[in-house]
Amino acid sequence: MSDALPLLKAALRGPIDYALPPRCPGCGTMVEQDHSFCLGCWGGMTFLTDPCCARCGLPFDHDRGQGAECGACLADPPPYDSARAVLAYGDVARMVALRLKYGRRIGLARLIAGHMARHVPVTQGALLIVPVPLHRWRLWARGFNQAALIADDLGRRTGIAVDKTVLLRLRRTRPLRGMTPREREKAVRGAFALKDGQGVKDRAILLIDDVHTSGATAAACARMLRRGGAASVHLLCWARVLPDDPERA
């Protein structure tokens, strides 16, 4: 039966594609393969690669040498060891994130995880994937945590263990947009806790979220993981709002 399953899937692929043709995750245009972007959307995406700040991942306009950090990280280092994102936050990245989060297109978690897999850091110890948690009321209303869906698929792709219970969100926080950095830090203070501190002790943690906006939520999670004894914390996201983007305000 197991040998016949791939043949059955292949036989059904044609009729399924005819009835439900693959569409671009960004604009909905028909494309040749599932989870493929059309040329227009692909051309509008800004992928974030080196050179960049070794800690926060802020893009540099030229190579400053291995381990170079931006001025902001040198002046006030964030509580995570590194932060990386696949894309700069723009129209396509925003649409994919919104369709996953609010459009219930949970299959997009696989697309996001596939791109994120290339950015998994090399660490001293074995990584443990931990998604940024949702408050239980938001989880109940939405039905899923998009960060957890991405984390699960990333774990399947890479073989890295995933723990979706060790980090808890104790209270809901209001939207951080429009707040000053100090106000954002205050808004998320005390919002997170560890269910079992031993679960992260001496571990290298890969913290997963969909969008990195102000960094306040990721920083609060990283501080809690550090408090639990994590050896290192590395943030990995689908998209990042760059400092000059109005969405950061």
Q: Is the peptide bond before 51 cis (omega within 30 degrees of 0)?
A: yes
Note whether 56 and 233 are within 8 A (CB): no
Q: Quote the pLDDT of residue 45.
A: 95
Could you give the CA distance from residue 133 to residue 37 in angstroms, rounded to a whole number? 29
Q: Which residues of 44-76 are buried (b: 16+ CB within 10 A; e: fewer)?
A: ebbebeeebbbbbbbbeeeeeeeeebbeebeee
DSSP 8-state symbol, 127: E
Question: Is there a contact between 116 and 86 (Cβ–Cβ < 8 Å)?
Answer: yes
pLDDT at residue number 197? 65
CATH of domain 46-248: 3.40.50.2020
Task: Give the phi and the psi of residue 15 in degrees, each rounded to 5.
Answer: -60, -35
For 3, half-sphere exposure in the C-beta direction (CA atoms, 13 angstrom radius) is 0
Residue 85 in contact with residue 238, Cβ under 8 Å?
yes
pLDDT for 6 beyond 80: no
Q: pLDDT tens, 102-161?
A: 888 999 999 999 999 999 998 877 899 999 998 887 878 888 999 999 999 999 999 999
Contact 190, 199 (CB under 8 A): no
Give pLDDT, residue 9.
45
- Domain-wise residue ranges, the chain: 1-43, 46-248
- pTM here? 0.86
Distances (CA, A) of 141 to 64, 134, 145, 146, 193: 46, 11, 10, 13, 21
pLDDT tens column, 192-217: 899 876 689 999 999 999 999 888 89
